[in-house]
Structure 1
């Protein structure tokens, strides 16, 4: 049975097709500003292989690890895709979902999506730097393509804070773009990623300019580096549960 429409509910914001890098000279450092917020759903769908698979799986993983009376954090929540997946993943458990992003334009649009969603689990959104955000009593935390934008020397301290805030039996979902150890493999992965973008309608100019913009702020690391750091942070189990080209998602579990 379909639900009756509610005229008092906010309408979903409209989004544009991503053409941010279609003009020559559009290669300044990438920023999560209002222009990116307007096109973000289109941009990430056409740019990140497997993103549309990772999001619903975050809900399934949350279902397994969420604990009654706990917090579930989405750090770097952007427009709230992971936030909503976690919200539905907790089911009827007494959990609070907390989304954090330092981009006010993202948080503003994220609020619309949260308001449109009917799930009763409470969600709070905070415009804040995840390096400064207090964390406590967590059962599930998501860093969905977020850590790669954090300065490398700040990554281990952040993961340690997440681990210390995580209940025994809780988990961290970490999605990242990685760099291959072997140069030839890295080149092939890059070529395949660019083929993916072309298949989704991006021109060679757009691909080149966005790559230049991202290289100024996105610093990928090897899978081995991510594994070692998560173990240094304290997590007992670290597995790769998803990979498509250079885009992976890891699950790190705290047993004790």
Structure 2
């Protein structure tokens, strides 16, 4: 197959330019000398960008507590879902090494039951003592988002790819105004304990659903099961509501959520 470069495109014009350079070299020397050819190609290639990666959006999929502990025996980093769990792990280490500080500078002979108090007494106010110390902080868990691929609900492979890309958004603590949520193909599914209704509540928000899942009439096919019983099987329209704006803001900016709720 012979290809005719299109001079109207940057790539085609560059190829035609190279052909002209090589033809002129042939006319001057009667051949393509290696050194001259290498110089021409080096200059020609410099006009191109061969980078294969493109800028991609970054999505925060959650947060983790990062605990780093070091001493003369090692330097360890562990991840924890919440501050209390990370502190409990650190306090366990402290109590196992309490002989290093007991009866020194007012430190009691036995470690206190409270985790934070034990850690503070062991390390001191600056989180360090001689050749050991720790840091504890939260950090984002992120992933790169690329252009969505076509999604066909009838294709098991497409569904498996979408399911494997689902994201869980936990609450960061009791003071967090958000709610635990699973994000799948743009759909937000909240599952939580509702003290007002005294029930486990599941709420499905549809207004950010990927367009590929929408039926021609703009609805989303839904089937909800509890154990082995189907309790809801129909389609739901995308809608807007003001009631959930605050709880959705953490995940979706200022988007309002279409809701189907089941108790």
TM over 0.5: no
Q: For this structure pair, what is the TM-score category when the shorter chain's length is used for normalisation?
A: under 0.3
Q: Which structure: greater strand fraction?
A: 2
TM-score of the pair, normalised by structure 2: 0.23
Which of the two has greater helix per residue? 1
Greater gyration radius: 2
Q: Which structure is higher in RCO with an 8 Å CA cutoff and minimum separation 6?
A: 1
